[in-house]
Amino acid sequence: MGACALPSQSDPGRYAVCSASRKVVITLGYGHADKLAGSAVGTPAAGNTPPIDPALFRREHVRRVLAERDIAALYRILRDAGITQRRIAELTGQSQSEVSEILKGRRVLAYDLLVRIAEGLGIPRELMGLGCGERGAYGGGDTVARPPDGVDEDMQRRDVLAVGTLATLGFVPSFAALLDPSARPGEVPLPSRLGASDVAEIRTRTRQLRMAAQVEGGQARAASAAAAYYRRLTAVPATEQVAHSLGFALAELDELAGWCCYDAGLDRHARWHYRTAVDLARRVGDDYRVASALRCAGLVDSRRDRPDDAMKLYQIAGVKLGNQDPDLGAWLDAVSAGALADMGHEQAADHLARARDGWQATDAVERADQNYQAALVYVRLGRLDVAEALTASVNGAGRVRPVGVFATILRATIHIQAGEPRGLGMAKSAIDAAAPLHSLRVRERLVPLAEALEARPGSDARELARMARQVATV
């Protein structure tokens, strides 16, 4: 049984809302109790004889449809009542094809069309939250929801009241008005002056996004949106010191956004964020960030089978970095080794040896990243035994992180290719670990595993190959 509004005997300004299971007394502001009662029972449109029996719109289930502005459901109700699509089209000023599309589920959001439908069918506007005006049950002023440019604070207050009443009672009262969903305020305003706390906020947000990316992968939408928003702060007046710190923070955030996009397979977006990071870092003299962002940009080209282009970026990054940071220099040697191995260059092993000598891992997680990168190069060099040992060492440090899943997949692939008996169990673990992550790179690495499984005899291997491809294509 639907909700109903009944006047309280002790106070006409109080209404008892009843349903099959509960009764709640709601106190309304002075002067509105009678309007709410009128909205509850429905008020037919004034004027000429309505084209459709007004009693239809007073039915409980129809009122709910009207309150939700579900025009497709409304048209189905009319059709069941014997009103043809053609007649609906005539009354609402639409074509039959438009009516047909709406019946198939097309949403109607345009305010002017909603008004035309209400007026054409003889539906009181207040039942659809479109306001009342002179024709409604409440003549106390204009309550029509307007386009975004005409929204003021009073309309917003009535919109909140309308949504709350709709959610609670199942209808919109005549003194409230639902706004069009597009009637949102503009962008959150920028501060009048930038301070150190604003820069600290960016750094905190960057750490949060980095943590989420390290645990779950992906995060492209959130990181890209954050970078775009905080970049607006460059237009805000600030001291030279704060502006300088802002440049450092924004460059770091854009590099992270590029990495998240790269992990999600959005290479064009990744390149854009990387070049933005390079430009921001250049302006504040952050040579480390310039080199780091160029290294990441090179990985995009390497992924696209353009190792020669990747090498150019790695070399430029190395020149910019100089001897400032041995650990980043070692990473540049490692990714250069991968690009050279892809090109079949004999110097790949030398670059990898320099990388392993220069790495200065501060914890087990960072060491796992380095060992996995080295394992990738050894696979390209045909040293599967060394690669397998390195992937095994990653296991404890990165099991729930994307890099740990990368290593698990690579190790399983090596064992399947070698025909090892335990390879099938490792493959199942790798597929299960990859499934919940938001990383396209993880899924791409399942393809070689699926190919290795398909080359192995047996129904178990075929089933695992099917599972791997299914996860890889999600």
User: Pick the residue with more confidence: 171 or 197?
Assistant: 197
> Would you say residue 224 has pLDDT above 90?
yes
Please give the pLDDT value at position 281.
92
**153-162, 373-382, 444-453: segment of lowest average pLDDT:** 153-162
Residue 180, both tokens: 């069009």
Residue 247 has pLDDT above 50, yes or no: yes
Model confidence at 246, pLDDT cuts 50, 70, 90, reads: very high
Residue 139 DSSP class: -
The model's confidence at residue 382, banded by pLDDT at 50, 70 and 90, is: confident
pLDDT at 249: 96
pLDDT (0 to 100) of residue 241: 93
Q: What is the mean pLDDT of residues 229-247?
A: 92
pLDDT of 18 > 60? The answer is no
Residue 131: pLDDT over 70: no
Q: Which residues lie below 8 Å from residue 73, measured CB to CB, with a gap of 6+?
A: 65
pLDDT at site 396: 56
Q: Average pLDDT, stretch 308-331?
A: 91
How far apart, in whole angstroms, are the C-alpha atoms of residue 456 and residue 449? Answer: 11
* pLDDT value of residue 183: 59
Cα–Cα distance for residue pair 163/171, rounded to 1 Å: 9
For the chain, percent of residues with pLDDT exceeding 70: 80
How high is the mean pLDDT of the chain? Answer: 80
What is residue 151's predicted lDDT score, i.e. its pLDDT?
64
Instruction: Note the pLDDT tens digit of each residue in 322-349.
Output: 888 898 999 999 999 999 988 888 888 8
What type of residue is 183?
A
d(CA 241, CA 350): 43
Calculate ∠ Cα 116-120-124, nearest 5°: 85
| Neighbouring residues of 53: CB distance < 8 A, sequence distance ≥ 6 | none
For residue 105, the model assigns a pLDDT of 85
pLDDT in the model for residue 58: 84
Q: How far is CA 447 from CA 62, 211, 290, in A?
A: 52, 27, 33
Phi, psi (degrees; rounded to nearest 5) at 348: -60, -45
In whole angstroms, what is the distance from residue 360 CA to residue 362 CA? 6
Give the pair of three-digit tokens for residue 230.
Answer: 């905080």
Predicted confidence at residue 2, as pLDDT, reads 41
Q: What is the mean pLDDT of residues 131-157?
A: 48
pLDDT at residue 194 above 70?
A: yes
User: pLDDT of 252-281, one tens digit each?
Assistant: 999 999 999 998 889 999 999 999 999 999
Residue 135: closest CA among 200, 254, 54, 45: 45
Residue 132: is its pLDDT beyond 60? no
Residue 69 has pLDDT above 50, yes or no: yes
At residue 290, the pLDDT reads 93
Summarize pLDDT for 26-55 with one digit per residue, the tens. 334 434 444 444 444 444 444 455 678 888
The model's confidence at residue 143, banded by pLDDT at 50, 70 and 90, is: very low
- The pLDDT of residue 170 is above 80: no
Beta partners for 16?
6, 25
Residue 179 makes CB contacts below 8 A (sequence gap 6+) with 145, 146, 151, 155, 156, 159
Instruction: Answer whether residue 406 shows pLDDT above 50.
Output: yes
360 torsion bin: left (phi>0), alpha (psi -120 to 50), beta (else): beta
